[in-house]
Amino acid sequence: MTRSFLTALLLAATAPLAAQPLPTPTPAPSTPPKYLPTVPKAVAEIRDAALSDNHAWDIVEGLTVEVGQRMGGTEAEARARVWAVAKLKALGFANVHVERFAMPVWTRGPESAEIVAPFPQKLAVTAFGNSASTPAQGIVGEIVGFDSVADLMAAPDSAVRGKIVFVTHAMPRTQDGSGYGYFGGPRRQGPSIASRKGAIGIVVRSIGTDSHRNPHAGGQQFEPGVAPIPAGALSRPDAEQLQRILKRGQPVTLRLTLVSSVRPGESGNVIAEVPGRDPKAPILMVGGHLDSWDLGTGAVDDGAGVAITAAAAKRIMAAGRPLRTIRVVWFGAEEMGLYGGMFYKDVHGREAHHAIAESDFGAGRIWKVDSKFGKAREAEGMALQAALAPLGIVPGSLDAADGSDIGPMIEDGMPAVGLSQDGTYYFDLHHTPDDTLDKIDPEALRQNVAAWTAMLAVLSGGIEPQPRARQRR
């Protein structure tokens, strides 16, 4: 079609209407843009300098190479604490110490799963934390399958008694990881429900989003009064294979070996501080958890978190003295049941905290900032939003924050910040052998450090350059 022909067509179409005035629709009211306060130059500078940070990589690389996996309460976690104290002292932190606590230590032994009948074959399995142990030769039982925890709950006990329960689910991949809450039910509640109904064991589809033959470990606690039974995860491909086998309609028999042991032991929180100019000012507490699952090296969960938060505090320390004390906490035994977080709350929960924040969602870029300081401090939340926006971070809620170890303290009303990391791929690696250093993108890690540094700079009450730094100006 030629241009002139098109013009003629358009003219012909509009000509009859041009004679009479057209009604003008009322324009939709435009939402006013959110005006955030100007970012102080000192905050912008320290934030942007952190984009070339190497401290965080140095910490997570050192921890994963020199310690490796570090299950809560184990000898490996004890070595991690020794490593952490030396590292934090070397970085120049003050008041570096360990606050120890007792805990039951669960340790994984040999594990395997195989279908005995009707189609003998091996399945990839791993035990959940606090699983009961099977005998060395395993247990053998008929499988009864369910599509959800609700279906398991609704089943008559007679359908479950003496059998091995299998529960599947359809956890989706999401940026904010929100699927983990609901779709984690088979792991968190499944074992207790199955035991109450008389099952001899339970396997669930891994709470994850990858398609590798990597089962995902994870914590679960048997409810009080419920007898522990062997409980574990099948990798996603193996869970799907088991579903196909069950669909054939014949009785399916599984041999499940999940050997483990429990003994009394101890863990601890590693604490380090950047002392503030005003010792009476409420403190800023940031951290992650030092323990990890045992299948990978705990690089993403949560080597990255301890590295990011300590690196940010180190950058503030290097810039000068903040008004408020910054306390870095590397929590012990988070994975086995928030032991470190609960212990910190017991010991320090009544101290005045200006804000608390935890990095425990991997090493992806931060995309959103939430805060929960209370109505009277919303301006501070907006100052924080403004300081982070240039890093590509969306201003989020002024009335929300979350965190694993710090969750109970947030519930108690402690002011808190939530820096949301992109979790699109987090549940591919989470609690699997794939949680290793190579999965961390150094540039994303630096963006995290810049965000945490800016957050500390905004909330620190002002950083006074050290005398030496002042002379150089």
Which range in 95-103, 297-305, 307-315, 337-345 contacts Zn ion by CB under 5 A? 297-305
Q: Is 301 in the site for Zn ion (CB under 5 A)?
A: yes
Distance of closest approach, residue 289 Cβ to Zn ion, in angstroms: 6
Cβ-based nearer residue to Zn ion, 77 or 380: 77
Residues 6+ apart with CB under 8 A from 338: 404, 405, 407, 408
Q: Which is nearer to Zn ion, 146 or 427 (CB)?
A: 427
Judged by CB under 5 A, does residue 302 bind Zn ion? Answer: yes
Site map for Zn ion, 342-371, x if CB under 5 A? ------------------x-----------
In Å, how far from its chain's centre is CA 332?
Answer: 15
Stretch that binds Zn ion, among 19-27, 214-222, 302-310, 324-332 (CB under 5 A): 302-310
- The site that binds Zn ion (CB under 5 A) totals a number of residues, namely 3
Buried b (16+ CB within 10 A) or exposed e, 264-291: ebbbbbbbbbbbbbeeebbbbbbbbbbb
User: 198 forms bridges with which residues in the sheet?
Assistant: none
Burial group, residue 29, by CB count within 10 angstroms (0-12, 13-18, 19+): exposed
Site track 25-54 with Zn ion (rule: CB under 5 A), x = hit:
------------------------------
Q: What's the min distance (Å) between Cβ of 237 and Zn ion?
A: 24
**Shortest Å, Cβ 89 to Zn ion:** 25
Task: Say whether residue 428 binds Zn ion (CB under 5 A).
Answer: no
Helix 55-66 to helix 75-90 angle, to the nearest 10 degrees?
150
Q: Whose Cβ is closer to Zn ion: residue 301's or residue 434's?
A: 301
Phi, psi of 165 (to 5 degrees): -80, 140
Regarding 435 and contact with Zn ion (CB under 5 A), the answer is: no
Q: What are the helix (H) ranges across 155-257? A: 157-160, 179-183, 185-188, 190-196, 236-247
Span 112-171, contacts to Zn ion by CB under 5 A? none
Q: Is 77 in the site for Zn ion (CB under 5 A)?
A: no
* Of residues 360 and 428, the one with the C-beta less far from Zn ion: 360
Q: Kindly tell me which of 373 and 427 has the beta carbon lying closer to Zn ion.
A: 427
Q: What is the DSSP letter of 119?
A: S
Q: How far is the CB of 159 from Zn ion (least distance, A)?
A: 35
What is the residue type of 447? Q
Cβ–Cβ < 8 Å for 393, 368 = yes
| Residue-wise burial string across 136-169, b where 16 or more C-beta atoms lie within 10 A, e elsewhere | eebbbbebbbbebbeebeebeeeebeebbbbbbb
Region for 177 from its dihedrals, namely left if φ exceeds 0, alpha if ψ lies in -120 to 50, beta otherwise = left
Closest to Zn ion by CB, 72 or 268: 72
Residue 430 CB, shortest distance to Zn ion, in Å, is 8
Q: Using CB under 5 A as the criterion, which residues of the chain lie in contact with Zn ion when the complex forms?
A: 301-302, 360
